[in-house]
């Protein structure tokens, strides 16, 4: 290291002694200072073949060019035609909801309008189904002229139609159902994803303004040959003061719904287990489920439903008949025991 520093210092001190270009040494024969390549002068020069981009490079260039052309010609919102059917796509996050209204023009979906709403603190605690319904209600407030003049089909995998028809939901949901009943709003399963991409983008952009973490709810597309599976976990509590049941329902979209009920009569533990099982199965039926798996921690109740145990008590026989009657409405069902605790 020391020798290197001494050498650098020596060169700097004698900078004017060294020749750095050919112009600094006039009078020297160029043959002495020029470098010659060892090439056969009789050889015929070969032309290099033209270089072509690889397929991956060409595709990347084309994508970049197409993106620039797309940005130079952004899509323009379309105008709805008289009495035509409009379609709506929903997107729900933890902190925002959005809706995109589109029309079908010869098989091409064209956006008409899009709206979004940042959720308040109380609204952030809504269930995902309630948030999706709130997005539709918010759209009717912002775009009443579209909902009044057209039939609007909401494309979603969520069971919104079943919620609006039930009367035992909280006050806000019942109020929203009444409000939507004034319009011609229909619900259909989503098949295309073009409009959904725009709805997801609007929801994500709205949420980014609040600097919140983006947590999208993933909705599973269910094919005609693959029926969705619903899961129900039920439990009970019973003592001298009364009895109550709790039900946790998991939809095919992995949305968790919780419901607890207090029974208006005294019931044994097994009777309360049957009530919880009935409540969970009926919830799935109301929401349009066709395949269900029910989980219960009572070995006796699970054994009686599966035919492993015999129900001897008259009240147990009546409960067993009711449960089998509800389960017979499903295309396929399964009752399993889970360990307690």
The whole-number pLDDT of residue 160 equals 80
Listed residue (172, 165, 210, 202) closest to 89, CA to CA: 202
Q: Is 155 exposed, middle or buried (0-12, 13-18, 19+ CB in 10 A)?
A: buried
**Which of 143, 173, 208 marks a domain boundary?**
208
How large is the average pLDDT for residues 259-264?
80
> What is the CATH classification number for the domain harbouring 297?
3.30.420.10
Residue ranges making up the domain that contains 296: 229-337
Query: Is 14 part of a structural domain of the chain?
Result: no
Specify the DSSP class assigned to residue 139: H
Tokens of residue 291, six digits:
């395949």
Asked if residue 58 belongs to a domain, the reply is no
pLDDT at 235: 83
Structural domain contains residue 62: no
DSSP structural state of residue 212: P
Residues 90 and 180 in one domain: yes
- Mark whether 283 and 184 lie in a shared domain: no
User: 119 and 204: one domain?
Assistant: yes
- Please state the domain count of the chain: 2
Residue 201 and residue 98 share a domain = yes
Residue 47 is assigned to a structural domain of this protein: no
Q: What is the CATH number of the domain that holds 115?
A: 3.10.20.370
User: Rounded to an integer, what distance in angstroms lies between the CA atom of residue 87 and that of residue 78?
Assistant: 13
Read off the pLDDT of residues 183-196 as tens digits, 9 standing for 90 and up.
Answer: 899 988 766 555 55
- SS3 helix, strand, coil % of the chain, rounded to 5? 40, 20, 40
Same domain assignment for residues 259 and 323: yes
Instruction: Please tell me which residue, 44 or 64, carries the higher pLDDT value.
Output: 44
Domain shared by 128 and 197, yes or no: yes
Q: What are phi and psi of 179, to 5 degrees?
A: -65, -45
Q: Are residues 203 and 243 in the same domain?
A: no
Locus of tokens 């060294």:
18
What is the rounded distance in angstroms from the CA atom of residue 261 to the CA atom of residue 265?
Answer: 12
Nearest partner of 100 among 88, 85, 91, judged by Cα: 88
- Of the listed ranges 34-48, 107-121, 300-314, the one predicted with least confidence: 34-48
CB burial of residue 219 (10 Å; 0-12, 13-18, 19+): buried
Q: Are 235 and 201 part of one and the same domain?
A: no
Which helix (H) or strand (E) segment is 8 a member of?
Answer: helix 2-13
Give a yes or no: residue 200 inside a domain: yes
pLDDT band at 213 (very low <50, low <70, confident <90, very high): very low
CA distance 202 to 98: 6
Q: Is residue 100 domain-resident?
A: yes
């Amino acid at each position: 290291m020391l020798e290197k520093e001494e050498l650098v210092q020596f060169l700097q001190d004698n900078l004017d002694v060294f020749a750095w270009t050919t112009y600094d040494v006039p009078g020297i024969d160029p043959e002495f200072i020029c470098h010659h390549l060892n090439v056969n002068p009789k050889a015929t020069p070969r032309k290099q073949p033209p270089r072509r981009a690889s397929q991956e490079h060409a595709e990347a260039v084309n994508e970049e060019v197409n993106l620039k052309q797309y940005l130079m010609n952004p899509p323009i919102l379309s105008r709805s035609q008289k009495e035509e059917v409009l379609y709506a796509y929903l997107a729900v996050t933890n902190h925002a909801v959005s809706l995109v209204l589109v029309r079908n023009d010869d098989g091409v979906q064209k956006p008409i309008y899009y709206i979004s709403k940042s959720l308040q603190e109380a609204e952030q605690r809504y269930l995902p189904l309630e948030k999706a319904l709130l997005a539709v209600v918010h759209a009717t407030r912002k775009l009443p002229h579209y909902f009044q003049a057209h039939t609007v089909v909401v494309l979603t995998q969520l069971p919104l139609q079943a919620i609006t028809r039930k009367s035992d939901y909280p006050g806000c949901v019942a109020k929203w159902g009444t409000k939507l009943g004034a319009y011609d709003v229909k619900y259909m399963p989503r098949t295309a994803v073009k409009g959904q991409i725009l709805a997801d983008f609007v929801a994500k952009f709205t949420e980014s303004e609040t600097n919140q973490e983006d947590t999208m709810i993933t909705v599973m597309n269910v094919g005609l040959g693959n029926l969705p599976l619903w899961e129900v976990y039920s439990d009970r509590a019973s003592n001298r003061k009364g009895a109550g049941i709790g039900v946790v329902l998991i939809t095919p979209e992995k949305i968790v719904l919780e419901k607890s009920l207090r029974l208006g009569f005294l019931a044994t533990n097994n009777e309360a287990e049957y009530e919880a099982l009935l409540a969970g199965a009926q919830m799935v039926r109301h929401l349009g489920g066709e395949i269900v798996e029910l989980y219960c921690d009572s070995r006796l109740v699970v054994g009686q439903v599966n035919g492993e145990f015999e129900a001897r008590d008259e009240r147990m026989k009546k409960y067993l008949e009711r449960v089998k009657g509800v389960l017979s409405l499903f295309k396929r069902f399964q009752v399993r025991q889970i360990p307690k605790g």
